[in-house]
């Protein structure tokens, strides 16, 4: 597998970036929803700090992934036979997944900092709270909740389309993201 992307397939770095971001995002969506909807208060005390730190790692991976995409001279487009509207939906979905993750990072930070909590940047530096005001924190909290649910739907659709390409269309879309293919 080559390191760089080519027109025919994703290179090792893009494959690594994708699956790292995918695992982190799915983990964060699951823990976030468990914290907010299911688990008792006692579990929140352990899981929220973990969720916040993994959220910061996912933002670092996201920025690195965006920079890497930008430096690649050629990248795989949609597989042969994809119609123009399908290609637009594909590109829009990829952009939506990246923007959704960024929005969750920003709203998560703002929600914590406006509700009187500090945020440790992986133990290297600690951001002090900006305010302890539930009415100000309510806006980023609402964004975190709605974008979180929208991302659950988007990720399910995105993964289902990937599997459909593999099982029904029997094309290279999925195997390309495993670093294989023509
Ligand atoms: C089990 C879950 C997942 C599967 C099976 C999957 C599968 C795929 C496949 C097959 C592609 C290539 C699509 C193409 O070339 O048209 C792709 C691209 C992409 N996926 Fe996923 N994915 C999953 C989860 C995620 C998650 C959770 C995110 C983000 C938060 C994500 C973000 C992206 C992005 C941004 C691209 C474009 C990659 C690039 O251009 O470098 N995926 N995914
Ligand atoms: C970047 C990826 C992130 C994802 C995918 C994510 C996802 C989620 C989701 C889906 C929820 C449940 C929302 C609800 O129903 O209220 C949640 C809750 C939460 N998230 Fe995140 N999050 C991310 C980053 C962050 C960051 C960076 C922070 C803070 C620094 C944060 C702080 C929180 C807190 C405190 C809750 C609990 C909210 C409550 O009390 O209801 N998140 N997260």
32-75 tens-digit pLDDT? 999 999 999 899 999 999 999 999 999 999 999 999 999 999 99
Residue 99 CA to residue 65 CA, distance in Å, equals 12
Dihedral of the alpha carbons of 18, 170, 73, 24, in degrees to the nearest 10: 0
Summarize the chain as % helix, strand, coil (round to 5). Answer: 70, 5, 25
Query: Could you say which DSSP state residue 79 is in?
Result: P
> pTM of the predicted model, to two decimals?
0.95
With both helix axes pointing from N to C terminus, report the angle between 12-33 and 84-114 in degrees, rounded to the nearest 10: 50
Low-confidence ranges of the chain (pLDDT < 70): 181-182
Tell how far the Cα of 131 is from the centroid of ligand 2, in angstroms.
18
* Residues whose CB falls within 8 Å of the CB of residue 90, separated by 6 or more in sequence, listed in order: 78, 82
Among 105, 158, 178, name the best residue to mutate to test ligand 1's pocket (greatest count of ligand atoms within 8 A of Cβ): 158
Token output for 69: 């995409």
Sorted by where each begins, the domain ranges of the chain are 12-176
CB 155 within 8 A of CB 166: no
Which ligand places an atom closest to the C-alpha of 97?
1
Which ligand places an atom closest to the C-alpha of 47?
2
Residue 133 CA to residue 146 CA, distance in Å, equals 20
Token output for 153: 């739907």
% of residues, the chain, pLDDT over 70: 99
- Name the strand (E) or helix (H) holding 119: strand 119-121
Residues in the chain: 182
Task: Give the model's pLDDT for residue 181.
Answer: 67
> Could you tell me which residues are beta bridge partners of residue 127?
119
């Amino acid at each position: 597998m080559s390191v760089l992307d080519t027109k025919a397939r994703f290179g090792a770095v893009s494959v690594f970036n994708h699956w790292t971001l995918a695992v982190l995002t799915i983990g964060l969506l699951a823990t976030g929803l468990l914290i907010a909807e299911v688990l008792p208060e006692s579990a929140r005390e352990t899981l929220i700090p973990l969720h916040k730190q993994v959220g910061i790692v996912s933002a670092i991976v996201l920025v690195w992934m965006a920079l890497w995409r930008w430096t690649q001279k050629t990248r795989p487009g949609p597989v042969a036979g994809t119609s123009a509207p399908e290609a637009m939906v594909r590109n829009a979905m990829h952009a939506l997944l990246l923007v959704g993750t960024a929005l969750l990072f920003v709203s998560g930070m703002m929600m914590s900092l406006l509700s009187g909590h500090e945020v440790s940047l992986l133990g290297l530096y600690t951001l002090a709270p900006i305010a302890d005001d539930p009415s100000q924190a309510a806006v980023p909290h609402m964004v975190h909740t709605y974008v979180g649910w929208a991302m659950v739907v988007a990720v399910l659709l995105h993964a289902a389309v990937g599997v459909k390409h593999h099982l029904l269309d029997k094309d290279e879309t999925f195997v390309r993201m495993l670093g294989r293919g023509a």
